Amino acid sequence: MNEEILTTFDDLGNVTGAAPRDEVHRLGLWHETFHCWFVGQEPEGLSIYLQLRSEQKRDYAGLLDITAAGHLLAHEVPEDGIREVQEELGILVTYHELFPLGIIPYTMDKEGFLDRERAHVFLHKNTLPMEAFSLQQEEVAGIVTASFADFSKLWEGQADSIRIRGFRMDGDSRKPIDELADISRFVPHEASYYLQIIAGISATFA
């Protein structure tokens, strides 16, 4: 597999060049990603879809994350990121079905890994049942939903945990999930990132 080359940026969002993905993370260089959050309309209100990262992942294995996301390569534009939805979830959506929230810059820092992303963030209103999801298991272990109202309270500090329901893959079978999850179960994106997602969903679908 060829090494992924990513466009790099300065703190102001100006292009500075390109570098291999591992170097980008090792040096903490700004780069572009594609984020797509699925939102559903249930009788009791909005729901949000969360990806359960595979235990095989090098980083943040087994944690709850954005519905579908990935890096944009040096030759790609945000529209190309739509491939992540099909690859990870097995769901076909078009770019024109997405609701753009713009670019959200944020940083995640852990030992030996400094992730500075200029995330092109989009929303998708999902109407498909859970049975329609066909997961890329080396990347995604499962899919769950949570009440958007509860998700908002969690990240606004008004709740200690939320109920998540969905499935995780166990070989070729699906194992139901119905449990509580607190903030420690989530990929540690900055709280300000989650709050911007919440504001974007509220403005788009409320």
Question: Among residues 66, 71, 5, 83, which one has the least CA distance to residue 32?
Answer: 71
The 10s digit of each residue's pLDDT in 148-158 is 999 999 999 99
Residue with the bigger pLDDT between 58 and 52: it is 52
pLDDT for residue 112: 67
**pLDDT for the residue numbered 156:** 97
Q: What is the pTM of this model?
A: 0.95
Helix%, strand%, coil% for the chain, nearest 5: 25, 45, 30
The phi and psi torsions of 59 (rounded to 5 degrees) equal -120, 135
Residue 35 — left, alpha, or beta (φ > 0 → left; ψ -120 to 50 → alpha)? Answer: beta
CA distance 124 to 107: 24
Residue 79, phi then psi, degrees to nearest 5: -60, -30
**Domain positions in the chain:** 5-205
For 185-204, the pLDDT digits (tens) are 999 999 999 999 999 999 99
- For residue 1, pLDDT over 50 is answered with no
- Give mean pLDDT, residues 25-38: 96
Supply the pLDDT for residue 179. Answer: 98
Residue 110: per-residue pLDDT: 76
CATH classification code of 5-205: 3.90.79.10
Percent of the chain with pLDDT over 70: 98
Q: What pLDDT was estimated at residue 133?
A: 98
Please write the tens of the pLDDT for every residue from 74-131: 999 999 999 999 999 999 999 999 999 999 999 988 766 789 999 999 999 999 999 9
Write down the pLDDT at residue 2.
58
